Amino acid sequence: MSAPAAAIGTDEAIGTDGLSKRFGSRTVVDSIDLRVPQGSVFGFLGPNGSGKTTTIRMLLGLVAASAGELRLLGRPMPGSGSSVLPRVGALVEGPAFAPYLSGTANLMRRDSADRYASPATRKERVAKALDRVGLSHAADRRVKAYSLGMKQRLGIAGALLTERDLLVLDEPTNGLDPQGTREVRTLIRSLAEGGTTVFVSSHLLAEIEQICSHAAIMRTGRLVAQGSLDELRAAGGPRVRVATPDAGLAAQVLARLGIGPEVTDDGTLDGVLPDPAPAPEDVVGALVAAGVRVRGFAVHASTLEERFVALTGEGFDVEQ
């Protein structure tokens, strides 16, 4: 049963309750309760097969949910689709354009397919969208001459031909070089600063940490964590990092203290402090007393990557 309009939180750009999708006997999305605050840049994370793409398709009305409730911009879906979806822009599975047409011509064709868009103001809308993504200088250039970053920005421009309150982007920096990635990252930040909620599905942790204010993590169809980035990191607990030439002996000492260390890429030992945690000075004291030569010691918060690995048991698959 859908919540009455008065009870629906207007501070949520996306809200789901028990949202599920089954294909035959296989459950792809299993009863997720997603909360995306309005005005946020929200990262949607998960390895291959976690249900991210299917969830996005349900959000956009491309596939029907098997169970549960879904709200976009405070309105129940799919019942309010005719009034809500025109306020939602999306770029899913990469942009597609006619390569021998200019950026302007491609957007003119796209805009003409929108039955809600007025033909009288089409040129103005297209010019504004191109300017918004920084492509005014290339408006008359054929798209086949665009870089990957420019094509991605053109795709986002197409999603912004009319004013959008919510923008859904699926892997917006996938396959881009560093310059293209910076271009899209800057654009996403500017959109959020203008009040648009941006929902970003990605497998690039560094990008999520740089552009997102909130995130959710999926695993095998289930939502295993969500919240602000600070909340997600804090939930992983504090960690200790030890730099020493005596890694084997140090690992034994840390294990006795309830800290299961791992060797990082730079050769240091890193592990989660137990609860209750020993005082940092006691950890250092135990290491020194055992004859461990300590070159460096630090207590730090969990990174998003560490939290992701702890929740899903795996790293990101860049072929996702």
Q: What tens digit of pLDDT does each residue of 236-255 get?
A: 667 888 999 998 999 999 99
One domain, residues 157 and 250 = no
- Is residue 251 assigned to a domain? yes
Question: Residue 239 to residues 178, 236, 279: CA-CA distances in angstroms?
Answer: 31, 9, 12
Instruction: Please state the pTM of the whole predicted model.
Output: 0.75
pLDDT in tens, 164-209: 899 999 888 777 778 878 888 888 888 888 889 999 988 777 778 8
One domain, residues 30 and 165 = yes
Domain with 248 in it:
238-300
Given a cut of 90, whether residue 144 has pLDDT beyond it is yes
Given a cut of 50, whether residue 89 has pLDDT beyond it is yes
CATH number, domain at 251? 3.30.70.100
- CA atoms of 116 and 91, how far apart (whole Å): 19
Q: How many CB atoms lie within 10 A of CB 249?
A: 15
| Per-residue confidence (pLDDT) for residue 21, from 0 to 100 | 96
How many folded domains does the chain comprise? 2
C-alpha torsion angle, residues 217, 266, 294, 259 (rounded to 10): 30
Three-class DSSP category at 301? coil
- CA atoms of 116 and 134, how far apart (whole Å): 25
DSSP code at position 142: B
Given a cut of 90, whether residue 118 has pLDDT beyond it is no
Whole-number mean pLDDT of the chain?
85
One domain, residues 259 and 289 = yes
How many Cα atoms within 13 Å fall on the side-chain side of residue 300? 12
- CA atoms of 155 and 134, how far apart (whole Å): 12
End of a domain among 207, 227, 247? Answer: 227
Q: What is the CA radius of gyration of the chain?
A: 23
